[in-house]
Amino acid sequence: GAGVSQSPSNKVTEKGKDVELRCDPISGHTALYWYRQRLGQGLEFLIYFQGNSAPDKSGLPSDRFSAERTGESVSTLTIQRTQQEDSAVYLCASSLELAGGPSDNEQFFGPGTRLTVL
């Protein structure tokens, strides 16, 4: 039973370039979340996928950010025209999303991708 995996673990890019970050959730988990953790700060919610429902994109900071998920598997977070303020650790989490509520829906986090924009 592998946990949530993310790749790459580290990404250094130049300002203005596009980047893609990948998340492989735990098999069978229908819900997937992306969060951003800036240096010295807590995690900020970015986007949430649940099954075939429309994703909750309310946390995306700008239209340069987008994410996709193929069915109930891999998700890709794309940042276009990266800026220095995008430098952060991007964390992915997944959960079973049962009907019982948050008590049944522990989010399991991946190790994150550290993005550095020069």
Partner 1 sequence: AQSVTQLGSHVSVSEGALVLLRCNYSSSVPPYLFWYVQYPNQGLQLLLKYTTGATLVKGINGFEAEFKKSETSFHLTKPSAHMSDAAEYFCAVTLDSSYKLIFGSGTRLLVRP
User: Which residues contact residue 48 at a Cβ distance below 8 angstroms, ignoring those fewer than 6 apart?
Assistant: 31, 32, 33, 34, 55, 56
Q: Using CB under 8 A, pick the residue from 32, 43, 77, 115 that binds partner 1.
A: 43
Beta-bridge mates of residue 19: 79
- CB-CB contact of 24 with 73 (8 Å): yes
Binding of partner 1 at residue 25 (CB under 8 A)?
no
- CB-CB contact of 82 with 19 (8 Å): yes
Smallest separation, CB 7 to partner 1 (Å): 14
Find the part of the chain contacting partner 1 (CB under 8 A) among 21-29, 43-51, 63-71, 77-85.
43-51
- CA-based nearest residue to 110, from 50, 18, 29, 15: 29
Q: Using CB under 8 A, pick the residue from 72, 97, 113, 117 that binds partner 1.
A: 97
Find the part of the chain contacting partner 1 (CB under 8 A) among 13-21, 64-72, 80-88, 107-115.
107-115
Residue ranges in contact with partner 1 by CB under 8 A: 3-4, 31, 33, 35, 40-45, 48, 50, 56, 59, 91, 93, 95, 97, 101-103, 105-107, 109-112
